[in-house]
Structure 1
Amino acid sequence: MVKKAAPDSTRRSTRSRRAIYDAALALVGEVGYPRTTIEGIAARAGVGKQTIYRWWSSKAEVLLEAFTDLSTQAAEAAARPGQEEGGQGENGIPDTGDLEADLKFVLRATVDELLDPKFDIPARALAAEGVVDEQVGAEFVTRLLEPQLQLYVRRLRSAQEHGDVRPDVDPRIALELFVSPLAQRWLQRTGPISHAYTDTLVDYALNGLAPRRPSGTPSAA
């Protein structure tokens, strides 16, 4: 008599977790954060409510982890094809030695992510809830937004070490020159977002707004 292999609990857990992620993101996009419940997520994912409570203590934790996972997948999918090992850098943003190209690359990938309904709808729901619910807002910033911003900080510090950014520049403030306008335009729908738009943000941030003097022209006293 052939023995049946024991069920793979790790695979089953991974499958259940993935189903919960998908259900949570779908629900918050359809009915909004306030009407999304643990019971609703469990029913949609085809798991018991206790399965969710075994891994998370609240719907906010479920949604933030699901959204973090979605962002990670998007970042991996956007990785530059054929990039040489080490070109990505330990900071998670391309570090090819060309700061302008690297920033444009990563912001173009961000635009693609923001224009994807799978990302856009739950992101808007969580961002909107974070405005009215201080705890959700703090969790959103701490667990999702700030870690992503720190990737820019590390890339800009690397550029400082190579002499491509002034040493007196505060990277945490500098990154807002291109990240904040994109976030505001997307969230408030004040205009279209596109690769051309983020390329322009990077150009303005790195080159400034003052007229460029011809080569050899002395600066004003």
Structure 2
Amino acid sequence: MRQRESKTEFYTRKAKEEGYPARSVYKLKEIDEKFEIIKAGDKVLDLGAAPGSWLKYLSEKTGVSGKVLGVDTEDAKIELPANAKFLKKDVFAFTEDDFKELKKFHVVVSDLAPKTSGVKFADAAKSLELCEKALEIAQKVLTPGGNFVCKVFESEKTKDFFKKIEENFKSAKRLKPQASRKESREIFFIGKSFIKQNA
């Protein structure tokens, strides 16, 4: 880190130097290195994929035998790698037919975030709603033993949501990555080894 350079500036510069459109890639990278979420050959669903930093990292990590599908209402700002596809869609507009078409994934990651209003309570509620939706999608498309990562703005209600992660995965962890701003309330929930519930 350069002298007088903030942590945010450091990760932003590093991302630019390494060809990623945003520093958020280092959050996912740290999570993956700590918890071994993604491996070569995995099929990964990336929710909230724009501008494309996570999508690029996932495509590199899964390799030529892997597949990555990014979903967002905004366009990706990267050239899509050969093993990646992008779907411009709102996660709340997913239908049962979409789920049938999506088939099965080994990993679901979510960097979904609301357009912040500055009102902490409202922003946290919207963030939790997005995380709930990401988990709902994961429950439909994850293979047994699959992994899940989602970003959420921490609040009193996130404790109850974390219990859902514990109920649906053999291992549940939480982490605030080094690349997150110190003042940010964002944390990441990590579920490992999905337990498929009987319908």
TM-score (norm 2): 0.27
More helix by percentage: 1
More strand by percentage: 2
TM-score (norm 1): 0.25
